[in-house]
């Protein structure tokens, strides 16, 4: 195999912004040199190396060898914030637990979407805790140990007192 052609193919695949097709390579090669053969030679050369020639979307591209990828992979943690409605619901559950969904809606003055409840359940921050013995027996909700962990609280009593929070108690009609 023509060493110069392999070097050129190597540089082209390396520098290209996307997969390189045999046709693209062929345009750079002198007459009589088959792009397919050059690519095959390049593939053989990189076989078993840290980087390998992979077939992707109609072309070839260098790619980290599969066995090395996990060692190079870096996990970047980007914590997400809860949406406002979920945060408010969580706060109400924390202060009023055990509390029913209608009670949460009453306190927030807004309907509680199922997705909001699901988000809190999925995050393991709240859990059902029995049913209220009133007609319809609605589920009672309470915070979980994961809630304490997440907020770095030892105990629910570590939360600021409601009275400390509300400088002016919400008198009816005032707020």
Partner 1 sequence: MCSAMVPTSDPPDALVLRLDGFEGPLDLLLDLARGQKVDLARISILALVEQYLAVIEGARRVRLELAADWLVMAAWLTWLKSRLLVPKGADADEAEEATEVLAGRLAELQAMRAAAAWLNARPTLGQDLFARGVAEDLRVTDRSKLALDVGGLMRAYLSALRRGAGAKPYRPPTVSLWSVQQALARLASLVGSLPDWSALDTYLPERLDTSLERRGALASTLLAGLEMARGGAVRLRQEAAFGPILVRRGGEDG
Residue 71 interacting with a copy of itself (CB under 8 A) = yes
Stretch touching a copy of itself by CB under 8 A, among 67-75, 85-93, 110-118, 121-129: 67-75
- If the CB atoms of residues 32 and 173 are measured against partner 1, the closer one turns out to be 173
Nearest approach in angstroms of CB 145 to partner 1 is 12
Report DSSP state, residue 112. -
Distance, CA of 50 to CA of 73 (rounded, Å): 14
- If the CB atoms of residues 76 and 134 are measured against partner 1, the closer one turns out to be 76
How far are the Cα atoms of 38, 63, 98, 158 from residue 154, in angstroms, in the given order?
A: 66, 48, 19, 7
Residue 77 interacting with a copy of itself (CB under 8 A) = yes
The residues in 18-57 that bind partner 1, with binding defined as CB under 8 A, are 18, 54
Residue 64 interacting with a copy of itself (CB under 8 A) = yes
Distance, CA of 31 to CA of 37 (rounded, Å): 13
Report DSSP state, residue 158. G
Residue 130 interacting with partner 1 (CB under 8 A) = no
Distance, CA of 53 to CA of 44 (rounded, Å): 9
Q: Of 142, 28, 41, which Cα lies nearest the Cα of 95?
A: 142
- If the CB atoms of residues 4 and 158 are measured against a copy of itself, the closer one turns out to be 4
According to DSSP, the residues that pair with 61 across neighbouring strands are 54
Distance, CA of 154 to CA of 47 (rounded, Å): 55
Residues within the interface to a copy of itself (CB under 8 A): 6-12, 14-17, 24, 27-28, 49-51, 62, 64-65, 68-69, 71-72, 74-77
- Which residues contribute to the site for partner 1 (CB under 8 A)? 11, 14-18, 54, 61-66, 69, 72-82, 84-85, 87-92, 94-95, 106-111, 123, 149-153, 159-160, 162, 165-166, 168-170, 172-175
């Amino acid at each position: 195999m023509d060493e110069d052609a392999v070097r050129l193919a190597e540089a082209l695949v390396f520098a290209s912004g996307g997969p390189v097709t045999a046709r693209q390579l062929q345009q750079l090669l002198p007459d009589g040199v088959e792009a397919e053969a050059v690519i095959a030679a390049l593939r053989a050369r990189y076989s078993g190396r840290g980087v390998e020639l992979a077939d992707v979307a109609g072309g070839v591209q260098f790619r980290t060898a599969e066995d090395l990828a996990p060692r190079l992979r870096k996990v970047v943690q980007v914590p997400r914030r809860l949406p406002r409605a979920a945060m408010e619901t969580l706060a109400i559950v924390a202060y009023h637990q055990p509390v029913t969904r209608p009670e949460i809606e009453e306190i927030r003055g807004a309907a509680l979407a199922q997705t909001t409840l699901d988000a809190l359940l999925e995050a393991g921050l709240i859990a059902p805790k029995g049913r209220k013995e009133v007609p319809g027996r609605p589920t009672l909700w309470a915070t979980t140990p994961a809630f304490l962990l997440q907020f770095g609280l030892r105990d629910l009593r570590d939360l600021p007192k409601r009275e400390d929070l509300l400088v002016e108690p919400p008198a009816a009609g005032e707020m």
